[in-house]
Structure 1
């Protein structure tokens, strides 16, 4: 019963958790860790959880004939939002510019809600829209730690390039595994990202060369189990942090 309740309250999307945590972790370590990071991270995760259940409610309220299907997401959404509120207030009092950062994320949340309402959460543009605020946590963490925007934009760009690439790659491995168009698009995207990375840092370029290699090798292995695909992306996310911190810290 307990595990079932956890599955209902916490989304089983391991790649999403990596995308939520890795940019924040990189930004925190690139700047100087501060006690406020211990407030920002749970606030960020609670905001994600509240938004997730809001989107599920929007989707099921429109599609399901069973009103209980949508209703079961109301309590988690309200609970996570209520837990978020005091943390958000404390953060805004400490650093009022965080309110502007939250406002900048709202258009992307609106896009995700629109796709959820129309049961198109797996759409490419929806995935790319989710990547932007997640990667935006890197400059937020850098600025909260006393860093500067000039210090943050390059690693934020690297995060954006990588996690946008995961949207393409994961689709080629799961929902679009039989689509040659998606496979070519994924490889073309990663080749372009590698070119951009060459202008940023040799270490960043080496990382994107590895990412390009995985788009060539992993799809050739056939039907790779979803947990394996996720584990590879989590490992690459951790490696990304390991590259960003010494290069830009």
Structure 2
């Protein structure tokens, strides 16, 4: 694959792959179903289509249509078609109930896209909105699998809490790598906010208690790490991916056991 094709087709945010995998995996582990599988595929299609769609809109707004723009448009059309097929499949096998969490996430997606098409997608607000929006996939999959709305919303909140704590922490570590010392209090406040969101999830459904326990571990680790010498971005990314998968496994195991 040439560099031009990669630029037009593949997301540049390496962390986005993990943030998309986590809600799909959590939803399917809690409530496996064909409808949930179709929603998981739709989530990956939605994640992939952001890059070509953004490039198409940006190049159109700047009236700079070029070969990259043509490639991006083709990828966007193909991935939107795949997204539509997965949506139809989900409706056919699971009805419309799963659409409620998706509709609730639409405003978050709109905020992220507003920043994205203006080349401001790396700011904190759109990153938080985007991660919270994709976490709604877990709720949709849980509902499609026939489980309660309270469990579905709680699962969404557990994943959103992880993002609320992790994203400011990662941004702080990258800032410290580039600039040296920095005020770590914003990262600490993010950990406190993450725990508060996790507690709301447990209030909704006590089966998510193990997920809250893992969030406590994450908050403690990140409050310690943010005061130590920052590690290389690749190590930071691998740590976050491992911690995210750990959260998914802990949360789903707790749901099955409680």
Shift of 1:88: 1.6
Is residue 242 of structure 1 aligned with residue 258 of structure 2? no
CA contact (8 A) 1:55 1:112 kept: no
CA contact (8 A) 1:60 1:69 kept: no
Paired with 2:63 and 2:167, the residues of 1 have a C-alpha distance of 27
More moved, 194-203 vs 97-106: 194-203
Deviation by residue 1:31-59 (Cα, 9 ceiling, x = unmatched): 2x112333221121112212332123334
Compare relative contact order (CA 8 Å, sep 6+) and give the higher one, 1 or 2.
1
Counterpart in 2 of 1:76? 75
Q: 1:209 to 1:64 in 2, by over 3 A?
A: farther
2:182 is matched with which residue: 163, 180, 183?
180
Counterpart in 2 of 1:193? 194
State the SS of the aligned residue for 1:236. helix
Counterpart in 2 of 1:218? 225
**Structure 2, gaps ≥5 residues long:** 203-207
Paired with 1:209 and 1:79, the residues of 2 have a C-alpha distance of 41
Give the length in aligned residue pairs: 247
CA contact (8 A) 2:101 2:139 kept: no
Q: 1:229 to 1:127 in 2, by over 3 A?
A: same
Shift of 1:69: 4.6
CA contact (8 A) 2:39 2:90 kept: yes
Deviation by residue 1:142-185 (Cα, 9 ceiling, x = unmatched): 1111111122232322111111222111111225654734x311
Question: What TM-score comes out, normalization by structure 2 length?
Answer: 0.82
Paired with 1:197 and 1:36, the residues of 2 have a C-alpha distance of 27
1:233 is matched with which residue: 237, 240, 246?
240
CA RMSD of aligned residues (A): 2.8
Deviation by residue 1:180-224 (Cα, 9 ceiling, x = unmatched): 34x311112213433664684764444223222332343344342
Paired with 2:63 and 2:120, the residues of 1 have a C-alpha distance of 15
